[in-house]
Structure 1
């Protein structure tokens, strides 16, 4: 004879224990990002390129123009592509496997998913970049010292601030990749768009004769691209640092708004 089991009641305390909160969403996004092998491959390549390129630049330094902090932060022009691609993969990997459906089912507030993923990716790139540039500084200091070219650590503007600015720029590049990932959803398309904005477009615009007044607007557009703004933020000239910070912030805000709109109006 079959028996009927009494229904199991869930106490309010138990339900509250498993209530969805933003810190839990952040933890979930961190687990997803940290368990991807591509994440650590990208971080490892960023560190390897940062230290290797810094050593090469320091070896080539023959005057103060290549001395100072430049050999340490200069490699960001190469590693920025890896940062952007990592941001793309963090998003499109979920779309390619269908995991994005589970994510949005667990947390139907799509803005929360976007914010959590953006924060996790940005913090990871910022902290790992500080480690990369710090390792590069440790490597190039004796190389530059042998040439009589030192890094001035006595003032923040000459040493610490450029490293922090370069790390911030790497986080911005990753967020641009995140934005393209949500907007395009295709890994190949989002990577192509990210590389185009970060690397190809500055090269294309540099072809135009900006000395000609008719093409002066090209120079204005070029200075507002992420790479140009990052260069001005890291090693500012004529007080252009605050404007460069605003430009990079505008790229992040515009990208996040576009990503949020794409998440809101389209099904997973």
Structure 2
């Protein structure tokens, strides 16, 4: 696969860190840009969780945008005392990703042991709190857009390399503010795996969902517009599966021979 690589100094990270953009030039994913980071000693990082594990407590990445390599100003606290100040990273050993100054290590909470103290157990005491069944069993409300908490998380192999993201059909369109294909895939996969009812997508009108998705969104359905699956679509997919199985069978025969 043909790619184009560009590497820059990352000003949001300490001196010596570099950010690399790999632009895919061919294939189905042509035009997609993969972002990587390199430490001063040349170690490569493919995701924000890997970068955070490496740096540990040496650097707070809560406001760091992994894709753009910049600090997200919307997440910064407006503290006048911190404006115009320069952070001193001299105490940080970025080759190991840990703090060297013992005075900066957070204290460990000390609690008294209760295991050696006598405990009296009362088994006949009745509880004073009674459940209110006046209006039936109360269900916990479902959180909207909870799938966005999974953004930036991908499966990795044993060597720590991320698997490529799955490309969805064009007919599947996301619903909700700033909901991309990654969040859409997680939402649909969760619905197919745990939902006990048919997955139809959001049946509300597109204009209503775009105007106020928090009101018109159905929490029991994934974050995708309603999609109708016809018999032709099912037949076409079955043909694709049969073709893939035939290719796999031929490949196994050549391998055994």
TM-score normalized by the length of structure 2: 0.21
Return the index of the structure with the highest Cα Rg: 2
Whose strand fraction is larger, Structure 1's or Structure 2's? 2
Q: Answer 1 or 2: which has greater helix percent.
A: 1
Q: Does 1 or 2 have the higher relative contact order (CA < 8 Å, sep 6+)?
A: 1
